[in-house]
Each structure stands twice: as C-alpha cells, then as structure tokens.
Chain A
Amino acid sequence: MKLNIVKDLLGARLLTGESDERLARFDIHSACGSDLMSDVLAFVKDQGLLLTGLVNPQVIRTAEMMDVVAICFVRGKTPDESVLALARERGMPILTTRYPLFIACGRLYNGGLTCGEE
C-alpha cells in the first residue's frame, strides 16, 4: 500500500512536508500499533508503518533502528519541532490522525494492510 493511500484511509495530516507524489513512492507492506517502544524493538519484524501515541524523540530513534518507513501519530498527537526535525533528517515521513490507535489500525486492516505475518 502506498503511503499516500495510508494518509487518505486515516484522514491524516502530513507533518514533514513531502508532496503526495513523493508519498506515493513509499511502499508500506505492514504496520505495527504500539505505545511501548520496548515491544516494537523486540517484536517488529517487517519494516513498515509505526502507529503510536507517544511523541518523544525516542519514537524516531526506535523507528530508525527498526528501518521503519514512516510513523503515524494517533489520537491527534503532534510532536514538537525538534522531533519532526529528527525525522526529516532521516527522510522519514510523519503523519498525524485524529483516530485512536485501535480505530486507525482497523481502518488500515480493512483497507488491505495486514501485519505480514499471517
């Protein structure tokens, strides 16, 4: 699934400024929803989209180590500019959606994005 489709399914807003054309170049094959970075580091196997309600810089660091393609903050959360700058340096698109984590994951799953491990 292309990242611009993810953005549409979640009614999300892009925080890092890429064009829709640029977003369409990012392929998302799986997604993980978690507010616990310890679990993301332990259990995520497929590089894809990370959905989380945590907005501290370690979310970007964790995503970087895991080769996560993009992050979507849920529950309308937006990180501060220093966190966004960290993501921009890494070429990592950041989205935010008003949906809570469960609903955001459900919309993506219904849209055809599964975890890749079924």
Chain B
Amino acid sequence: MDNKIILSYEIDGGNFSGAGEASSSVKKVLKQLGVDSDIIRRVVISMYEAEINAVIHAGGGRAEVEISPDKIYVKFTDDGPGIADVQQAMREGFSTASQKIREMGFGAGMGLPNIKSYTDEIRITSDVGKGTVVEMVVYLQEPVQK
C-alpha cells in the first residue's frame, strides 16, 4: 500500500434502511488491503456512527475516506441544521433524535462519544443552519512520539 486510496460516497438521507452501506463498503476494501482487524473495526464503527448521524440528523451527506500507509482519514460533510453546541453533543446521553429513531435502536446520545473513543483524532466543525463536518483519523501504527 504505497499510494493513497481515496473513496467517496453519497449518503442518502431519505433511506434509513440503507444507512451503513458506505461503512460496509469501506470494511470490504480495508479487508482486501489486509488492514489489521482491530483497526478495521475501529474505523468502520466510527464511520457507521457518523453515517447514521448524517441520515438521522442531516438528511444525508458525503463521506470521503483516504487510506494512506500510516493512517485512515474519514471526513463526513453534510448540509444539515448544524450542531449548536458541539461540546454538549459530545456528552454521553445527549441526543436530539426523534422517538421514531429511538424505536429503531439509535439516538441514545452515544454516537459522537463513541467515535471519540474509537478514533485517534476527531474534529467537528459546525455552522448552525449550514451543516457539519466530522473528521476522524485512525493511525495504522502508533504515531511516533517527538
């Protein structure tokens, strides 16, 4: 894996049943590349959480995945309502999901904290009324300490 591999996905906001297709596709690619199974698990769980969030809260969005020799970078961009208080959204249990989504087994306010726990880096930038960008990094090896 000498070069970067870049994958792009459109996330369909009107299709809760289809949520997870991008994460599933990335899992297959990472398996084919022979990436360590624990790394794959951390990446795809984080991606899946973000994908569900994009469908539930933002009416869909876009996912870009960059696979490098040393790390996997994932960026989710949406044009949804945005997050007014990102720190509050990062708290376990905080959720604005509808009752319908809760009945489907999601919306317990674990998504963003879960992404934080499974990734090495997470950055969320959000403009209320414009949308949200969630970026995450999982290193394939321990980063070199300086």
Contact = CB atoms under 8 A, between A and B. Distances in A.
A67 B37 CA distance: 9
Nearest to B108: A38
Interface residues of A, number: 20
A22 B5 CA distance: 37
B27 A64 contact: yes
Interface stretch (B18-26, B83-91, B120-128, B130-138): B18-26
A39 to B, nearest CB: 6
Contacts of B49: 41
Given A41-B110, A41-B114, A58 B104 contact: yes
B48 A36 contact: no
B17 interface: yes
Interface string B68-109: 000000000000000000000000000000000000111111
B58 interface: no
Contacts, number: 66
A65 B113 contact: no
Name the prevailing secondary structure of the B interface residues. helix
A66 B45 contact: yes
B105 A58 contact: yes
B110 A38 contact: yes
B17 A56 contact: yes
B45 A39 contact: no
B108 A65 contact: no
A42 B105 contact: no
A36 B105 CA distance: 4
Interface string A57-74: 111011011110000000
A58 B23 contact: no
Interface in B1-41: 16-17, 19-20, 23-24, 27, 37, 41
A79 to B, nearest CB: 12
12 contacts: A35-B105, A36-B108, A37-B104, A37-B105, A38-B109, A39-B108, A42-B114, A56-B104, A56-B105, A58-B19, A58-B106, A67-B41
Interface of B: 16-17, 19-20, 23-24, 27, 37, 41, 44-45, 48-49, 52, 104-111, 113-114, 117
Closest 8 CB pairs of A and B: A61-B20, A38-B108, A37-B105, A38-B110, A42-B110, A65-B48, A57-B17, A42-B114
